[in-house]
Amino acid sequence: MHYSKGLLWVISGPMFAGKTSELIRLYDRTTYANQKSIIVKPMLDNRYSNTDVSTHDNRTRKSYVLLNIEELNEVVGLEKPDNVFIDEAQFFNSKVLNVIDDLRKESINVYVSVLNQTSEGHPFPFMDKKADVGTLLAKADYINTFTAICPICGKFATKTFKIEATGHEVDVGGSNKYEPRCFEHWEPKK
Ligand code: TMP
Ligand code: MG
């Protein structure tokens, strides 16, 4: 598969599907080709590390931790990367959509990992609620949708189930709070 420069590649799916692992794989792939790549993530995602992107099993890569997506422009100005990797894109404002468009216009490839749905089954809204990740997926050149495995039946899980309903749409956590589920065994609230 060959894409011109300025591609938008989105990695989507429920929790525990390997989205960040895939982002790291794609990042490593570019570095083996001697391309300059940077990884960024939102400060909100402090689950496993304040500096690195991290998978649930603690595989990490150094990243820029951004309070706002606008800070990415400054980082890109300094680093002049060929590729920008964004983890947990749902935890930025909808301005992330414009920032990505601008990077692409500068022929920078953008790879994005995103949680596609809330535990309630809605397209994940960006933090300012002005758009949701559906727009990001619609803009993508290429989408990899990953599944997890439902612990109830062993079938493919496309949903994320919240173990204790808290009423908060944004609730950072891991297996202490969430489980992957197939459509049949998923329910929005316990
Ligand atoms: P992950 O997709 O890399 O596992 O991370 C998803 C993050 O999103 C994790 O911190 C939990 C959080 N989250 C919410 O805030 N609300 C939700 O409805 C769901 C399903 C996850
Ligand atoms: Mg992740």
* pLDDT bucket at 3, cuts 50 / 70 / 90: low
Structural domain range at position 24: 8-150
Q: How many A from CA of 116 to the centre of ligand 1?
A: 9
pLDDT tens per residue across span 73-106: 999 999 999 999 999 999 999 999 999 999 999 9
What is the pLDDT, as a whole number, of residue 16?
A: 98
Residue 74 placed within a domain = yes
Residues whose CB is less than 8 angstroms from the CB of residue 131 and which lie 6 or more positions away in sequence, other chains included: 94, 97, 125
Residue 106 placed within a domain = yes
Residue 172 placed within a domain = no
Residue 25 placed within a domain = yes
What is the pLDDT, as a whole number, of residue 48?
A: 76
Nearest to residue 176, comparing CAs of 47, 45, 88?
A: 47
Q: Which of 160, 166, 187 to mutate to test the pocket of ligand 1 (most atoms within 8 A of CB)?
A: 160
Residue 2 placed within a domain = no
Residue 157 placed within a domain = no
Locate 141 and state its tokens. 């050149």
Residue 190 placed within a domain = no
CB atoms within 10 A of CB 95: 17
User: How many Å is the Cα radius of gyration of the chain?
Assistant: 16
CATH code for position 91: 3.40.50.300
pLDDT tens per residue across span 31-45: 999 999 999 999 998
Which residues are catalytically annotated? 88
pLDDT tens per residue across span 139-172: 999 999 999 999 999 999 999 999 999 999 999 9
Residue 173 placed within a domain = no
Instruction: Provide the greatest CA pair distance for the chain.
Output: 49
pTM of the model: 0.96
Q: Any idea what DSSP says for residue 126?
A: P
* Domain count along the chain: 1
